[in-house]
Amino acid sequence: MKKIYLTTPLYYVNDKPHIGHAYTTILADVISRYQKLSGKNVYFLTGTDEHGQKVQEAALKLNTTPKDHVDKFHKNYLELWSRLNIDFDKFIRTTDENHVNKVKKVLQTLWEKGEIYQAEYEGLYSVSEERFITEKEYEEGEYREVKKLKEKNYFFKMSKYQEQLINHINDNSDFIIPESRKNEILGFLKKPLDDLCISRPKSRLEWGIEIPFDNDYVTYVWFDALLNYITGIKWDRDNDFFKSWWPADYHLMGKDIITTHAVYWMTMLMANNLPLPKHIIAHGWWLIDKTKMSKSIGNVINPIELIEHYGEDSLRYFLMREMTLGQDASFSFELFKRRYNDDLANDLGNLLNRITILIRKFCNNHVPDIQNYDKIDEDLIDKIKILPNKSLKNIDNLKINMAIEEIMSVVRYINKYLELKEPWKILKTNNTDQSGLNTLSIACEAIALSAKLLFPVMPSKCDEIFKILNIPSESRYNLKFGQISGNHIQKHNVLFPRIEDND
């Protein structure tokens, strides 16, 4: 069986999760569920980034220890992932004992191999970014709390791998997705690459993984956190397990952290003689009024509130349908409401209602058999038959919004098909008329297939549809036409109640 190993970034434990964080994790969950639907074996890793200055400062402010602070705050993420029905395989915390030990092991090995050296460095340090920045970055002015620092530190020989990295990017055209980010990284690599400062003196920061060969220092948070992608799948603990998943297929992230992944992480892997991941995928930002949603700006939308009012699936649907991977997208309640009412309440919800009412009324609650169908029926049957391949191909190409649109266009077509055939008129005069029965059965078949294909995006609501249409769990992965005749339809409530204007 083909395997897929996919990861999200590790979120800073301090921050309250907002829609931007939710998006990356939902995206990973949706891809993971679609890959399972196409018969792949999937491992999905997510977690929290728990060391560093900001955590130390936040704990101090709250008059608690960093450890107690992260033990409490990482739960915000766990809770949100549970509310969003995220089916991850592992949630890693960078304070996990195994992770800490393996980071030390990597440092010790690289030190012994001469890949790490000590040097005195004087440069501009951004406290908000927790790293040394270049003069050019300083001039660009995006960094806060910049000060001049001169200190002894440990450096990883990142520069050594510059050429190898450039070659790898050029030889593997879909290594960095989208193209615009690939070009950004290639542009960055045109200038000589510096070595990476991977330590912080304890005199300034204590909350980190101690450098194993010098206990006056802790490890730079990024060097620590990036290693989660291998420590999270038992690197150096269970070799068979590790080898069965590594290299990662998809490292998913926002475009803000592409350099740390495409440059720092890749050169770290090279120094450790490990194969590179297949794809690094950078998505765009969720914006509010053209500005990035972020905690520091204070324009964040709390996903829990939307989930409480409209359910997790409507949020999952909106975020997946509305963003083209790689581009920015805007969030507003108006847009959310319009999508919800148009796609979910009207097109999908009303359709299901319509069909189940007709089957209840004319077919004694049983989906009829299909016999001798006509040209109009055939058109819909053809659409149903090609839909799985079409939409799953879009998923493979990471066009999630297009895959959803393909499915929803069939859903809209089912509504049109019913209008065209008017089975209620035919069956009212003769409730055994085969053409009327065919229409109901084919429409029901089409909605069942649409639900199977929408399941990765809206698992709970599609589960409800499966229950209503009596689709047993073993056939939920069966995407062939002709699965539903004879099923007994269950009574149900409105699946997606409309959001009214005064909401």
Rule CB under 6 A: is residue 254 a binding residue for ligand MSP? yes
Of 54 and 234, which CB lies nearer to ligand MSP in the complex structure? 54
Of 232 and 388, which CB lies nearer to ligand MSP in the complex structure? 232
Instruction: From 97, 43, 48, select the one nearest 77 (Cα to Cα).
Output: 48
Q: Which span sits near ligand MSP by CB under 6 A: 136-144, 176-184, 221-229, 427-435?
A: 221-229
DSSP H or E run through 279 = strand 279-283
Rule CB under 6 A: is residue 256 a binding residue for ligand MSP? yes
Residue 38 burial (CB count, 10 A): 17
Which residue of this chain has its Cβ atom nearest to ligand MSP in the complex? 20
Rule CB under 6 A: is residue 24 a binding residue for ligand MSP? yes
CB of 160 to ligand MSP, least distance (A): 22
| Block residue for tokens 């790689």 | 326
Residue 74 burial (CB count, 10 A): 21
CB neighbour list of residue 69: distance below 8 Å, 6 or more residues apart: 13, 55, 58, 59, 62
Q: Are 221 and 208 in contact (CB under 8 A)?
A: yes
3-state helix, strand, coil in the chain (%, to 5): 50, 15, 35
Q: Which of 4, 5, 6, 15 binds ligand MSP (CB under 6 A)?
A: 15
Of 228 and 391, which CB lies nearer to ligand MSP in the complex structure? 228
CB of 69 to ligand MSP, least distance (A): 15
Rule CB under 6 A: is residue 182 a binding residue for ligand MSP? no
Q: Which of 269, 293, 411, 489 binds ligand MSP (CB under 6 A)?
A: 293
Q: What is the DSSP letter of 343?
A: I
Rule CB under 6 A: is residue 303 a binding residue for ligand MSP? no
Q: Are 307 and 79 in contact (CB under 8 A)?
A: no
Size of the site for ligand MSP (CB under 6 A): 22
Rule CB under 6 A: is residue 331 a binding residue for ligand MSP? no
- On the CB side of 423, CA atoms within 13 Å amount to 31
Q: Which of 81, 286, 310, 336 binds ligand MSP (CB under 6 A)?
A: 286
Rule CB under 6 A: is residue 253 a binding residue for ligand MSP? yes
CB neighbour list of residue 17: distance below 8 Å, 6 or more residues apart: 11, 76, 77, 80, 303
Q: Which span sits near ligand MSP by CB under 6 A: 225-233, 345-353, 369-377, 398-406?
A: 225-233
Binding stretches for ligand MSP (CB under 6 A): 9-12, 15, 20-21, 23-24, 49, 225-226, 228, 253-254, 256-257, 285-286, 292-294
